[in-house]
A and B are shown apart, each in its own frame.
Chain A
Amino acid sequence: GEDVEQSLFLSVREGDSSVINCTYTDSSSTYLYWYKQEPGAGLQLLTYIFSNMDMKQDQRLTVLLNKKDKHLSLRIADTQTGDSAIYFCAESRDTGRRALTFGSGTRLQVQP
């Protein structure tokens, strides 16, 4: 299977919370990232978490990391229509290869 897996699609109503999930396979992952891609644009770094942390909060964003289960999630509170985009999970590994490994992306659709 893929090294980093995400569900393809999530639909929520405006004002609700969104939770986007990601699983990864490599236990040597050191940093895990969430990127956002809006239509016609490149990827924008939203937040990241070091592998020895369980949680990181940044305004409306909360990242949870379960290292035992190799599960990462991104919670967006009070989701807005401007949050509609594709969200990519990515990992970096301390194995000499420094470039990130990305998941396939989750398309978040926010309905008014």
Chain B
Amino acid sequence: ETGVTQTPRHLVMGMTNKKSLKCEQHLGHNAMYWYKQSAKKPLELMFVYNFKEQTENNSVPSRFSPECPNSSHLFLHLHTLQPEDSALYLCASSQDQGGATNEKLFFGSGTQLSVL
């Protein structure tokens, strides 16, 4: 049990579908992250939220839309994805991104996404 829970674990969707990935952390952290992990590239940071405010958007296409309603929950809304978006999407949290430079991340198990 890592304290960071992601659902669903697996998702298959067509290019015209709309789906959402969910992440919940039970660690009392203030910062949450979305990372993309694929076979071709190392872990790519997508978005960062700190105290519910988006602090980083790493040039992610608009077909990925994050939402952070509170410090414990993070969503990634997906629409009109492409096959190259197939990857493992990892959520992470950390105590506080605003101050210390020692940001230990705690990861969820990820959602394995396949876009057909």
Contact = CB atoms under 8 A, between A and B. Distances in A.
Contacts of B106: 45
Instruction: Please indicate which of the listed interface residues B2, B104, B105 has the most CB atoms of chain A within 10 Å of its own CB.
Output: B105
A94 B103 CA distance: 11
A100 interface: yes
A92 B102 contact: yes
A45 B105 CA distance: 7
A43 B102 CA distance: 17
Interface magnitude class on chain B: 20 to 34
Interface magnitude class on chain A: 20 to 34
A48 B102 CA distance: 9
Contacts of A35: 105, 107
Contact of A2 (B4, B42, B48, B90): B42
Interface in B62-111: 90, 92, 97-98, 101-110
B110 A98 contact: no
A102 interface: yes
B90 A92 contact: no
Contacts of A66: none
Interface of B: 2, 4, 6, 31, 33, 41-43, 45, 48, 56, 90, 92, 97-98, 101-110
